[in-house]
């Protein structure tokens, strides 16, 4: 139990409510979709309300559909040494656009290549956000007990 408490990042601690973690993930997703719309031709967002709804739909779609697709395409993941995950991410991104189109939300993706590039931009923004929001690795400082034995303490 001590090991878990000393190595778990702060986002996993009980002092951060789940609603705050969800809100941060939603904001990061909105920024990622905004970056994808700005950088990739073929990805369009019609205003901030569409961005709010598209990010929420993307979070739900990614939480439900992506694990299913990863399990179903496991042989392809192994065969391509994990590169097929980019195709899975593109499918989730395109499926989000399809659901948004059915619900009348102004989020559009024009074709597979736009979905692939848009999902790469979203993944890049997620990577940068996790790099910024997560603390660095904890260092272990060695201390000595009165009996001369080495003890480790995380700082």
Overall domain count for the chain? 1
**Is the distance from CB of 61 to CB of 95 less than 8 angstroms?**
yes
**Cα–Cα distance, 151 to 133 (Å, whole number):** 30
- Long-range CB contact pairs, 91-95, < 8 A, 24+: 91/65, 91/115, 92/58, 92/61, 92/62, 92/65, 92/66, 92/119, 93/58, 93/118, 93/119, 93/122, 95/61, 95/65
pLDDT of residue 107: 94
pLDDT of residue 132: 84
**Is the distance from CB of 92 to CB of 57 less than 8 angstroms?**
no
CA 125 vs CA 2, 29, 30, 50, 118: distances in Å: 33, 8, 10, 19, 11
**Cα–Cα distance, 43 to 13 (Å, whole number):** 36
- Domain range for 93 is 2-154
CB neighbour burial string for 106-121, b if at least 16 within 10 angstroms, e if fewer: ebbbeeeebbbbbbbb
β-partners of residue 150 are 144
β-partners of residue 44 are 108
pLDDT of residue 117: 97
pLDDT in tens, the chain (155 residues): 555 445 545 544 556 677 888 898 999 999 999 999 999 999 999 999 999 999 999 999 999 999 999 999 999 999 999 999 999 999 999 999 999 999 999 999 999 999 999 999 999 999 999 888 776 555 444 455 555 555 544 44
pLDDT of residue 21: 83
Tell me the Cα Rg of the chain.
20
Expressed in angstroms, the distance from the first to the final Cα of the chain is 17
């Amino acid at each position: 139990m001590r090991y878990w408490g000393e190595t778990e990042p702060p986002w996993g601690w009980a002092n951060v409510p789940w609603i705050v973690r969800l809100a941060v993930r939603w904001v990061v997703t909105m920024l990622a979709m905004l970056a994808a719309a700005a950088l990739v031709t073929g990805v369009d967002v019609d205003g901030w309300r569409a961005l709010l709804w598209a990010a929420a739909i993307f979070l739900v779609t990614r939480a439900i559909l992506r694990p299913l697709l990863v399990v179903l395409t496991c042989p392809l993941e192994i065969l391509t040494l994990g590169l097929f995950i980019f195709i899975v991410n593109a499918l989730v991104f395109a499926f989000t656009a399809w659901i948004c189109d059915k619900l009348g939300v102004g989020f559009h993706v024009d074709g597979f290549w736009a979905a692939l590039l848009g999902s790469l931009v979203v993944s890049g923004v997620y990577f940068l956000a996790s790099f910024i929001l997560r603390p660095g690795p904890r260092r272990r400082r060695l201390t000595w007990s009165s009996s001369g034995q080495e003890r480790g303490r995380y700082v």
